[in-house]
Amino acid sequence: MVMAPVQLDFDLLLSVVVVVVSCLVIVRTFWSGGRKDGDQVLPPSPPTLSIIGNLHQFGRSHTHRRLQELAQRHGSLFLLRLVIRGVLSFHSRTAEEVLKTQDHVFCSRPPQHTVRGLFYDCRDVAFSPYGERWRQLRRIAVVRLLSAKRVDSFHALREEEVASFVERIRAAGAWPPVRTTTVESAESLTYTVISKAVFGSKLGGMDPGAFRAMVKETSDLLETITVTDMFPRATAPLDAVLEGALREHEKSSGNNGDADDDDLLDNLLSAVLALGCGGGRRGFKPRQDRCEGTHPSGIDTTYKMMEWTMAELVKNPKEMVKVQGVTNCGEHGSVTKEKLGRMTRLHAAVKEALRLHPPVPLLVPCEAIHDTKLHGYNIPAKTWVLINAWAIGRDNESWENADTFSTERFVHNAFDYSGNKDFRLIPFDDGGRGCLALALGI
């Protein structure tokens, strides 16, 4: 007797496969939420899915807000598994451990895909990995470009541009009134001060509006999480601008014998020449080296700080009155460096705005250069550590009435923007990789 071959029902087979795979995914998901990886005790992690890890837990909301929601469920230090392994920090104690106590361990930068495209394989001083090249770039920035004496030499430029800004605002309020946008005026002020400090008067015919748009696009791309390797749409126009500025400086080099009148790009080119980069000034390739230390990306950061400070003062009229009481320079008075130094309430308002609205909510990621421990958890080498400055500034454990704008917090408080003993306020990063241009931007 010949038996007919067994015919498997395709739908039944498919159902069995789906059930088995689903069970495996569920087991893998809950198992991955544990804390052990071999013999290592890792930070707690939200449930993950195969292949995509925690990617499904990012919605359309702002990344720093979504990560704060995850921290409320999983603690102030937890592990995220995306394309890379990253540890998220949401507490000032952890930030201090990373940026101060173990600064020598977390002093490198990971090779972010977006930064590779925008800054020529992470070759600028802010994103370069730890090593001799970064130390050399930092030395040039600290000694030649952004020293206290060099930054102080720009105070006349600042006062001149601020006086012009105030006059434009005052004229807009005269009769007949002129429609003006304060935010755009503040952005224009920031652009003018920083670009003149960096490029001087040798702007090579750059259009200010187009340049501001390019800087904004660069800033927006840096705040995204992406797997794209390159962004030629953003880099090509900015390349042309920077190359044009360099050509103008090369043509005019040697015409001005007063070093005090040099701008930051002059100083950078002189430093490159002193380092012996073959071919002199013309051996310095701007398309490859990206004008390290002179890229005016601080424009976006600075005007955001101004915008949020003004917005919070408008929302809080009582605080506005307090600030106006110390900033009134008279009808024809001018704002000078000496007067600003005495405006404690104004400084407090800026710090409070930075606490609530840091220009970069998620600080530039750090990367562990070797295995270490962080609050009892194992952190393997090459792990990214992201610090949520926005969440730290709104932590109810650290701040009373954390969501309320109050200048009183900083009027009699010695908080500073960097070199902190208290890491509850870190809008511009800290430690060895802190913002080198802070004095110029603030």
Q: Which residues make up each annotated binding site?
A: 435
Q: Between 1.10.630.10, 1.20.58.220, 3.40.50.360, 3.40.50.720, what CATH number should domain 132-441 receive?
A: 1.10.630.10
> Would you list the DSSP string of 230-272?
--HHHHHHHHHHHHHHHHHHHHHTTS---GGG--HHHHHHHHH
d(CA 243, CA 288): 11
d(CA 153, CA 290): 25
Is there a contact between 266 and 246 (Cβ–Cβ < 8 Å)? no
Query: CA torsion angle for 391, 392, 394, 398 (degrees, to 10)?
Result: 150
Q: Which residues make up each annotated binding site for heme?
A: 435
Overall average pLDDT of the 25-47 stretch? 62
pTM more than 0.75: yes
Q: Which of 225-239, 260-274, 381-395 has the highest mean pLDDT?
A: 381-395
What ranges make up the beta strands (E) of 53-208?
Answer: 77-81, 85-89
pLDDT in tens, 295-354: 555 677 888 888 899 999 999 999 999 998 888 776 666 777 778 888 889 999 999 999
Overall average pLDDT of the 114-123 stretch? 68
Paired tokens of 214: 């390019």
Reported confidence tier of residue 39, pLDDT bands at 50, 70, 90: low
d(CA 209, CA 214): 9
| Beta-ladder partners of 49 | 53
